[in-house]
Chains A and B, each alone.
Chain A
Amino acid sequence: MCLAIPTLVVALLPDHGARVALDGVEKVISTLLVEPVVPGDYVVVHVGYALAKIDKDEAERTLALLAEMGEAS
């Protein structure tokens, strides 16, 4: 039930709405629960609401760290 998926914000709609895309499927969600987002952002969506914005820099840093770790081993 707590599974939530990162989805791409495609367009903003009135009343905190947003159109998001996941694997080519688009749907409308609410962004009421997060700081303002813009198209191009990724948000974690759960039961129709964005719960968190994905921090792209942190995501890159984690992957770089892990890649380095893999090379070192």
Chain B
Amino acid sequence: MKYVDEYRDGALAKGLLRAIARAVRADRSYAFMEFCGGHTHAIARHGIIDVLPQNLRMIHGPGCPVCVLPMGRLDAAMALARDPAVTLCTYADLMRVPGSHGETLIRAKADGADVRMIYSPLDALGLAEANPERQVVFLAIGFETTTPPTAAVVKAAEAKDLRNFSVFCNHVLTPMAMRAILEAPAHGEEAGPRLDGLVGPSHVSTIIGTDPYRPFPERYGVPVVVAGFEPVDILHAILMLVRQVNDDRAEVENQYVRAVTAEGNRIAQALMAEVFEHRESFEWRGLGTLPDSALRLRPRFARFDAERRFDMSSSGGRDHPGCACGAVLRGRLEPWECKLFGRVCTPDTPIGACMVSSEGACAAAWLHGSRSHSPDVPEEVSHV
């Protein structure tokens, strides 16, 4: 695959590892957070943690849209799915996430609810057109990567004057989540980890560009390097971060220059701004209620807003008491430090969202567990 295989090249990766090994100073440690769950999985899958110097630690961030969706919103989606008039469409990742009572969309579907797994929001639009007697609701989640496609289908629904299509909008904004991580206190319940640098997301950044990250080095003294998704990209970004730390620099740098610019994708930004406005605040699992951190449809598109079309008063659901997803999402705990990890909670029997999602840190740790970093995990797990 062009533009994939080159960035998985073993010789390039080895060269970078040698460069990293030479660059790290023995008299200090390095703690970098990869914000995005896609990076978390790539780091685990390619065994990157195991080959990095001992004094360089990678911490996973909250960049997993399924994981940060709070219980109340999930329960509201579950209630919507049970409405006999509704066809609820969503991405695969969300189907198996347990709500307050352990219920999942997949279970609701088995019980007769009309829940559809879709690949693209265009599929939801198509279902609405093909089934005028059904109320088709697109349960939309995701960071800025997934938001412009949602905006595009809302506009298409307006152009087609569809009366039976709406969006349950749960789109969230990366910069506010990064800020929450950087502002987390050092101690106490809500504490965050010490960070020397951030690996910025790949595909969110194709949309928003690198400019929105500029306040972070300026305000918090933490360098940000936007990186591609392949192992060579990630190692390159780690090297760039090590060099910034060593030089006492804190800047935004772009490793993923083949797809990301400073200003981002202007067409997509304009479309998002036309269709969505900022919510005053939004609750995130793990990060709490963050101001200005999520989107809803603008009044012009109110008739496509599921939250206006349906009664969605939610009960404010509770997370499983033993699940440490919140602390895992803040980078405070490693997945295997959760008491339920691998014992009660596995991808087949997930207790929390972080074990379900293809971007969740617990799923990454389980699927690609590295023994050196997870002494508690039964041996057979490490070989998977």
- How many B residues touch the partner, as a band? 35 or more
Q: A5-B4, A47-B149, A70-B16 are in contact. Are A55 and B203 (CB under 8 A)?
A: no
Interface assignment of A54: CB less than 8 Å from any CB of chain B: yes
Contacts of B65 in A (CB 8 A): 1-2
Q: Are A32 and B152 in contact (CB under 8 A)?
A: yes
The CA-CA distance from A46 to B119 in the complex, in Å, is 9
- Determine which of B2, B16, B207 lies in contact with A69 in the assembled complex, contact meaning CB atoms within 8 Å: B16
Q: Are B258 and A59 in contact (CB under 8 A)?
A: yes
* Mask: chain B, 109-142; 1 = CB below 8 Å from A; 0 = not: 0000000000111110000000000000000011
Interface centre among B14, B15, B91, B260 (most CB of A within 10 A): B15
Interface residues of A in 31-49 (CB under 8 A from B): 32-35, 42, 44, 46-49
Chain B, Cβ-Cβ closest to A22: B1
Q: Are B1 and A6 in contact (CB under 8 A)?
A: yes
Interface assignment of B25: CB less than 8 Å from any CB of chain A: no
Interface assignment of A8: CB less than 8 Å from any CB of chain B: yes
Q: A49-B152, A66-B236 are in contact. Are A3 and B38 (CB under 8 A)?
A: yes
Interface of A is mostly: mixed
The CA-CA distance from A42 to B149 in the complex, in Å, is 19
A31 to chain B, nearest CB (A): 10
The CA-CA distance from A35 to B36 in the complex, in Å, is 26
Q: Are B122 and A48 in contact (CB under 8 A)?
A: yes
Q: Are A1 and B141 in contact (CB under 8 A)?
A: yes
A25 to chain B, nearest CB (A): 11
* Mask: chain B, 4-15; 1 = CB below 8 Å from A; 0 = not: 101000011011
A21 to chain B, nearest CB (A): 10
- Determine which of A2, A46, A47, A61 lies in contact with B201 in the assembled complex, contact meaning CB atoms within 8 Å: A2
Interface centre among B4, B149, B258, B271 (most CB of A within 10 A): B258
* Mask: chain B, 218-236; 1 = CB below 8 Å from A; 0 = not: 0000000000010010001
5 pairs of A and B residues whose beta carbons are closest in the complex: A70-B15, A48-B120, A52-B206, A59-B258, A6-B3
Residues of A bordering B, CB below 8 Å: 1-6, 8, 22-23, 30, 32-35, 42, 44, 46-49, 51-56, 58-59, 61-63, 66-67, 69-71, 73
Beyond the given pairs A6-B1, A55-B258, A71-B15, 15 more chain A to chain B contacts, judged by CB atoms under 8 angstroms and listed by A's residue number, are A1-B91, A1-B93, A1-B145, A1-B357, A1-B358, A2-B63, A2-B359, A3-B203, A5-B4, A34-B268, A44-B259, A48-B120, A51-B268, A52-B260, A67-B15
Residues of B bordering A, CB below 8 Å: 1-4, 6, 11-12, 14-16, 18-19, 22, 36-38, 63-66, 91, 93, 119-123, 141-143, 145-146, 148-149, 152, 201-204, 206-207, 229, 232, 236, 255, 257-260, 265, 267-268, 271, 357-359
